[in-house]
Homo-oligomer: A and B are copies of this chain.
Amino acid sequence: MNNKMTSAHIVIVGAGFAGINAAKQLGKYKEIQVTLLDKKNYHLFQPLLYQVAMAGLSPAEIASPIRSILAKCVNINVTLGNVTKINLQNQKVKTEFKEYKYDYLILACGATHSYFGKDEWEEFAPGLKSIEQATEIRRRVLTAFELAERESDPKKIREYLTFIVVGGGPTGVELAGSLSEMAHYTLNKEFKNIDLKSTSIILIEAGERILASFSPDLSEQAKKDLVSIGVTVKTGTRVSSIDSQGVHIGKEFIPSRTVIWAAGVQPSSTGALLGCELDRAGRVIVTPFLHLPEHKNVFVLGDQASVLGKDQRPLPGLAPVAIQQGIHTAKNIMRSCEGKELLAFSYFDKGQMATIGRGRAISEFSGYKAHGKIAWIAWLFIHILYLVGFRNKVFVFFQWLWSYITFGRGARLITKQEWKNHDN
């Protein structure tokens, strides 16, 4: 056995799709040591986060404790922590409590949302990248209906019942579709004073079409589906400002008390700690082997990285990309430990999917396109398949089954941020 292997220490930062899959792969090799750092103690299945925001699922149904996932890997040390510094020369990673020396480093901290320089909009339009943001959106959405119900001023009722989603990618489409279903199927029988059919859901997209990463005919199908369930789709429309009263689109103003941001993504700022070249979007530029050009033992994966695909365009920030990169990198590291050549990463395109709502989805894979109920069932199946944790798979399956039959939603709670409360 190569000497490099017996003492190799791999540090992985981030337990998202890339990090957790790299760890699971490396967990098979007892000879090496792995430290997995994350700011959170759980792995989050982000594709279903919008269902937490829309009160359909509970956070714990789409998240698994990292320790549980890797419990059987005796060579992996899972640690809660923030990376504050990376020293490429000395091969050290600093956290707020300790410094780690690494032989190999994997950075896979994902992305957060971007307000294109207008961070002050965040307060009025939360994004959807974390559980805390999802429950905050849930709180705002459910509260809007409650406030409308008790309001007497028709103008205010209109504002409470106007919901705006900014961003026409899969996240924005899924949010808009789900909001519409909530208003028209789930809540419609439970409010006595307001007519929920008058709920206005507006999806705003700056580009020419929503779901721009899909082929035009699928985009068009998705738009039709959204419109058929009561969503107003505004494409070629750029938001100029957002405040507590609503959204400005050039000269037009749409009064709304609930705005959700799904329009821009930026990579985690940990990438900047490397001091290496970043692309225009702030992602770390890596070689086809997924490591830094000057440091063959430092890998950057997932949404944080910029690597060219077969079409010479950067690979998209999708879960299958991150998963494959994680596994590939772990194998590459073992090859390096064994003194073998690294292999370039080749993305096996598993296509993409987006759901609009009950019985409606679009998907494309290798030129094969589908929409409607078939695509929707495939969407459900794929998401349960990739959800981590057997218990979560079972619970999410039953939640969806119950919701489908009853039109109900399993987590319609308005929970606040403050916990100190002397009165119930």
The answer to whether A68 touches B423, judged by C-beta atoms less than 8 angstroms apart, is no
Neighbouring B residues of A408 by C-beta, 8 Å: 68, 391
The answer to whether B142 touches A41, judged by C-beta atoms less than 8 angstroms apart, is yes
Q: What's the nearest-Cβ distance from chain B to residue A320, in Å?
A: 19
Q: Which of A104-112, A327-335, A354-362, A366-374 contacts B (4 or more CB under 8 A)?
A: A104-112
Interface 0/1 of A261-272, CB less than 8 Å to B: 000000011100
Those of A309-365 within 8 Å (CB) of chain B: none
| CB of A189 within 8 Å of the partner chain | yes
Neighbouring B residues of A63 by C-beta, 8 Å: 413
Closest to A77 in B: B192
| CB of A143 within 8 Å of the partner chain | yes
> What is the bound-complex CA distance between A112 and B94, given in angstroms?
43
Those of A150-178 within 8 Å (CB) of chain B: 150-152
The answer to whether B413 touches A41, judged by C-beta atoms less than 8 angstroms apart, is yes
Neighbouring B residues of A269 by C-beta, 8 Å: 422-423
Q: Which of A124-132, A203-211, A241-249, A251-259 contacts B (4 or more CB under 8 A)?
A: A124-132
Closest to A64 in B: B412
Q: Which of A212-220, A228-236, A379-387, A394-402 contacts B (4 or more CB under 8 A)?
A: A394-402
Neighbouring B residues of A31 by C-beta, 8 Å: none
Closest to A420 in B: B122
| CB of A29 within 8 Å of the partner chain | no
> What is the bound-complex CA distance between A222 and B366, given in angstroms?
63
Neighbouring B residues of A421 by C-beta, 8 Å: 112, 129-130, 132-133
| CB of A227 within 8 Å of the partner chain | no
Neighbouring B residues of A394 by C-beta, 8 Å: 398
Neighbouring B residues of A151 by C-beta, 8 Å: 97
The answer to whether B59 touches A61, judged by C-beta atoms less than 8 angstroms apart, is no
Chain A interface size, as a band, is: 35 or more
The answer to whether B133 touches A419, judged by C-beta atoms less than 8 angstroms apart, is yes
| CB of A199 within 8 Å of the partner chain | no
> What is the bound-complex CA distance between A422 and B112, given in angstroms?
6
- Contact A68/B268 with A417-B418, A417-B419, A419-B132 known, Cβ cut-off 8 Å: no
**Chain A residues engaging chain B, CB cutoff 8 angstroms:** 14, 16, 39-42, 58-61, 63, 65, 67-68, 71, 74, 77-81, 97-98, 109-112, 119, 122-123, 126, 129-133, 135-136, 142-143, 146-147, 149-152, 187, 189-193, 268-270, 391, 394-395, 398, 402, 406, 408, 410-424
Known: A80-B150, A112-B422, A268-B423. 13 other contacts (CB 8 A): A41-B142, A41-B143, A41-B412, A60-B412, A97-B150, A111-B424, A119-B422, A122-B420, A129-B421, A131-B415, A391-B406, A395-B395, A417-B418
Q: What 7 A-B pairs come out closest when comparing CB atoms? A: A60-B411, A132-B419, A58-B58, A67-B190, A80-B146, A136-B419, A65-B412
What would 9 A/B residue contacts be, using CB atoms closer than 8 Å?
A: A59-B413, A60-B413, A65-B412, A80-B149, A80-B414, A112-B423, A132-B421, A268-B424, A391-B402
